[in-house]
Amino acid sequence: MRITCPHCGARDAQEFTYLGAADLKRPDGMAATEAAMTDYVYQRENPAGTHRELWYHGAGCHAWLVVTRDTRNHAIAAVEAAKSRKTGAAA
């Protein structure tokens, strides 16, 4: 696979490390419940289709990226830096 890093350009996916779903929202703060945290830590949509996911450009700029990729054929539709993301549930 090739991932087009917004900072570094198109690079082999080997330069990146995968984490998982990008749009999980951490229940921050002392008021968060154990149930909500369990859901955040463990439950996944795991779609067969469009998946927004986090990749870390560890061999490059160290940016965490939100990659929109189809899990059925690996086609990548979009890549953006997580820190300045403009789309998605956590935006």
Partner 1 sequence: MSGQSFRLVSGGLVDRDRALNFSFDGKPYRGFAGDTLASALLANGVRLVGRSFKYHRPRGVLSAGPEEPNALVELRSGARREPNTRATVTELFDGLDAASQNRWPSLVFDLLSLNGLVSPALVAGFYYKTFMWPAAFWEKLYEPLIRRAAGLGRAAGLEDPDHYEKAFAFCDLLVIGGGPAGLAAALAAGRSGARVILCDEDFCLGGRLLAEKREIDGKPAAEWLAATLAELENLPEVRIMSRTTVFGLYDHGIYGAVERVGDHLPEPAPHQPRQRGWRIHARRAILAAGALERPIVFPGNDVPGVMLAGAARTYVNRYGVLPGRETVLFTAGDDGWATARDIAAAGGKVAAIVDARGEADPARKALADKLGARLFAGGVIEGTRGGRQLDGVTIRDASGATMALACDLLAVSNGWNPTLHLTSHQNGKAVWDEALQCFVPGTLPAGLAVAGSAAGHFTLGQALEDGARLGGEAAAEAGLKPAAAGPVPMTDPEATALQPIWRVKGAKGKAFVDYQNDVTDKDVELAAREGFRPVEHLKRYTTLGMATDQGKTSNLSGLAIMAEQTGKTIPQTGTTTFRPPYTPVAIGALAGHHRGKEFRPVRLAPTHDWSKEQGAVFVEAGQWLRAQYYPKPGENDWLTTVNREVQAVRAGVGLCDVSTLGKIDIQGADAAEFLERVYINGWKALPVGKARYGLMLREDGFVMDDGTTSRLGDSHFLMTTTTANAGKVMQHLEFCHQVLWPELDIRMVSVSEQWAQVAVAGPRARETLRAVVDPAHDISNEAFPYLAARAVTVGGGIPARLFRISFSGELAYELAVAADHGDAMMRALMRAGQPFGITPYGTEALGVMRIEKGHVAGNELNGQTTPRDLGLGKMMSAKKDYLGRLMAGRQALIEKDRPSFVGFRPVDPTQRLRAGAHFIGIGKADIMENDEGYMTSVAYSPHLNHWMGLGLIKGGAARIGERVRAYDPVRNGDIVVEICSPVFVDPEGARLHG
Partner 2 sequence: MRYSAFSLLAQAFRGHKGWTPAWRDPEPKAEYDVIIIGGGGHGLATAHYLASRHDITNVAVLEKGYLGSGNVGRNTTIIRSNYLLPGNTPFYELSMKLWEGLEQDLNYNAMVSQRGVINLYHSDAQRDAFARRGNAMRLAGVDSELLGQEQVRAMLPYLDYDNARFPVQGGLLQRRGGSARHDAVAWGYARAADSRGVDMLQNCEVTGITMVGGRAVGVETSRGPIRAKKIAMAVAGNSGRVAAMAGLRLPIETHVLQAFVSEGLKPLIDTVVTFGAGHFYISQSDKGGLVFGGDIDGYNSYAQRGNLPVIEDVMESAMALWPGLGRVRMLRHWGGVMDMSMDGSPIIDTTPVDGLYLNSGWCYGGFKATPASGFCFAHLIATGEPHPVAAAYRLDRFATGRLIDEKGAGAQPNLH
Which residue type occupies 89?
Answer: A
What's the CA angle centered on 15, arms 13 and 18, to 5 degrees? Answer: 65
* Contact yes or no for 79/13 (Cβ under 8 A): no
3-class SS of residue 8: coil
By CB under 8 A, name the one of 6, 7, 37, 50 that touches partner 1.
Answer: 37
The pattern of x and - marking residues 29 through 58 that bind partner 2 according to CB under 8 A reads -----xx--x--xxxxxxxx--x-x-----
- The DSSP letter of residue 62 is -
- From partner 2, partner 1, none, interface partner of 81 (C-beta below 5 to 8 A by class): partner 1
* Contact yes or no for 4/12 (Cβ under 8 A): no
Q: At its nearest, how many Å lie between partner 2 and the CB of residue 45?
A: 6
User: What are the residues binding partner 1 (CB under 8 A)?
Assistant: 1-2, 12, 17, 19, 22, 26, 28-30, 32-34, 37-38, 40-41, 54, 56, 58, 62-64, 73-76, 81-84, 90
